[in-house]
Structure 1
């Protein structure tokens, strides 16, 4: 007679790492990045410190992965919120950059974690490089959209896409910081951003 041999349960390692990263984001958003530790994150995630250490050898690794999770979530929202195929290219730019404004609780949490990560990475060149890479990719993507908008006659022909992309990303990041710090409401931040898009594109948001 054959004996039943239990099949080991398959572990979704990415799911576990994401669970831990989500816990890290809650700790960082509610108590600040200085409260992020293997012990605090484990308690927030409802797992053991040993499990956290199994997936992340250091706080740097946890922080870096948390930012990767945020990027994935933004990408999912962008896909879900993508305008129709006949939408102006300028609308793609707006939908992309508006994701950086804290207009709902998810984006407020992500924004607070991103700010905490920036401060944390400032004195750590090895993880700060990831921030610079992300910024460069975003600016290149926006610049590519602006070139496409120029080709479609949707923005001024004399617009310099690279400079405009840097200006727009700096604007939305600054407005996001002001909204997160309480200097202005998220609605005001969005209105200011749309007004600048009107000036740049000559369009109504």
Structure 2
């Protein structure tokens, strides 16, 4: 049992090293040798954890996805009495990685998205993650009840995911400030509920 715990911890340590290097250089600058140096382990230790670089990258992407999903769940649990609309706003905020403390994570995430265009294993990992987020968003929209009766929850969930990713990109390249991006999706959510509310 102790060996298994050490193995899991080492894989996570290596994943953090991958993310640190990807933030500095992009994924093209991530080598097994540099990852070993950044994680302060031997090359052999890295190779015992991961048979190939791609396997290592897939694990690192899963590691980031897990971290983001945990934050989404934490925001939802923190205020169990909140409305579905408020919960949805919290969830989109976490997924869009707009806050300053998540800027490095956003850079790494988009580096993985770009690499996934030419890597089937990375694309499959991303698709599973997006599917889980879409399901969570769909559920929140469906829970809005009468306010969302005229909406297609799945279509709106897809729209929000695409909006979140797009805003992440626009903030990273400096086209929008984090506050401007936040205003965009807040306005979208507000319009969404107003447009579907029954007439008084």
Common fold by TM > 0.5: yes
For the pair 1:138 / 2:133, whether they are aligned, the reply is yes
C-alpha separation in 2, matches of 1:36 and 1:61:
13
Pick the structure with greater CA Rg.
1
Contact conserved, 1:100 with 1:111, CA < 8 A, in 2? no
Unaligned runs of 5+ in 2: 196-200
Partner of 1:159: 151
C-alpha separation in 1, matches of 2:51 and 2:15:
13
For the pair 1:81 / 2:75, whether they are aligned, the reply is yes
Q: CA deviation at 1:12?
A: 2.0
- Which residue, 30, 39, 52 being the options, matches 1:58? 52
Alignment TM-score, normalising by the size of structure 1? 0.86
Query: SS state of the match for residue 148, structure 2?
Result: coil
Contact conserved, 2:26 with 2:111, CA < 8 A, in 1? yes
Q: CA deviation at 1:110?
A: 1.9
Contact conserved, 2:62 with 2:125, CA < 8 A, in 1? no
Query: SS state of the match for residue 12, structure 1?
Result: helix
Q: Compared with structure 1, are the counterparts of its residues 10 and 80 closer, same or farther at alpha carbon in structure 2 (3 Å cutoff)?
A: same
Contact conserved, 1:101 with 1:175, CA < 8 A, in 2? yes
Partner of 1:126: 121
Structure number with the higher helix fraction is 2
Contact conserved, 2:22 with 2:111, CA < 8 A, in 1? yes
Q: How many residues are matched?
A: 193
Partner of 1:22: 16
Query: SS state of the match for residue 27, structure 1?
Result: helix
Contact conserved, 1:42 with 1:48, CA < 8 A, in 2? yes
Q: CA deviation at 1:125?
A: 2.0
Q: CA deviation at 1:105?
A: 4.5
Q: Compared with structure 1, are the counterparts of its residues 62 and 91 closer, same or farther at alpha carbon in structure 2 (3 Å cutoff)?
A: same
Unaligned runs of 5+ in 1: 1-7
Partner of 1:194: 186
Q: Compared with structure 1, are the counterparts of its residues 144 and 38 closer, same or farther at alpha carbon in structure 2 (3 Å cutoff)?
A: same
Alignment TM-score, normalising by the size of structure 2? 0.88
Contact conserved, 2:22 with 2:30, CA < 8 A, in 1? yes
How does 1:30-69 map onto structure 2 within 5 Å?
A: 30-69=24-63
Contact conserved, 1:179 with 1:185, CA < 8 A, in 2? yes
Q: Compared with structure 1, are the counterparts of its residues 185 and 72 closer, same or farther at alpha carbon in structure 2 (3 Å cutoff)?
A: same
Contact conserved, 1:102 with 1:179, CA < 8 A, in 2? no
